[in-house]
Amino acid sequence: DAGVTQSPTHLIKTRGQQVTLRCSPKSGHDTVSWYQQALGQGPQFIFQYYEEEERQRGNFPDRFSGHQFPNYSSELNVNALLLGDSALYLCASSPDSPLGQETQYFGPGTRLLVL
């Protein structure tokens, strides 16, 4: 059973460009969350998708947007890249549950460097 997969593994962009990161959830999971982990810090929640809708959003600007497809895979898009967007971007998947107690399983991440 494949776990959470993310692509690409590494990416280098320049300021002002746009980037798209991709995530395939663990089999049987219908909920996908995205986190940003800056160097030396803990992950910060960007947003969560369920049933192709953004269900919850963290404190990130509108430059960060996402999408979930019918097969539950997801994309994270970042427009007008800033140097400060350089980070490890983590995708996590989980099955939905009424009270949200299900474990989020993380992928290996995409490391984005903005020059």
Partner 1 sequence: AQSVTQLGSHVSVSEGALVLLRCNYSSSVPPYLFWYVQYPNQGLQLLLKYTTGATLVKGINGFEAEFKKSETSFHLTKPSAHMSDAAEYFCAVSESDTGRRALTFGSGTRLQVQP
As beta bridge partners, residue 91 has: 34
Position 24 contacts partner 1 (CB under 8 A): no
For partner 1, the binding residue among 29, 43, 76, 112 (CB under 8 A) is 43
The count of residues in the chain is 115
Position 41 contacts partner 1 (CB under 8 A): yes
DSSP string over 24-66: EPPTT--EEEEEEE-TTS--EEEEEEETTEEEEE-S--TTEEE
Q: Are 70 and 58 in contact (CB under 8 A)?
A: no
Position 4 contacts partner 1 (CB under 8 A): yes
Position 106 contacts partner 1 (CB under 8 A): yes
For partner 1, the binding residue among 72, 93, 107, 114 (CB under 8 A) is 107
Q: What is the DSSP secondary structure assignment for residue 108, as one 8-state letter? A: -
User: At which residue do the structure tokens 């960060």 appear?
Assistant: 64
Instruction: Tokens for 72, please give them.
Output: 């539950």
Judged by CB under 8 A, the stretch of 21-29, 61-69, 72-80, 86-94 that binds partner 1 is 86-94
- For residues 68 and 104, which CB has a smaller minimum distance to partner 1 in the complex? 104
Position 60 contacts partner 1 (CB under 8 A): no
Q: What is the binding site for partner 1 (CB under 8 A)?
A: 4, 31, 33, 35, 40-45, 48, 55-56, 58, 90, 92, 94, 99-101, 103-109
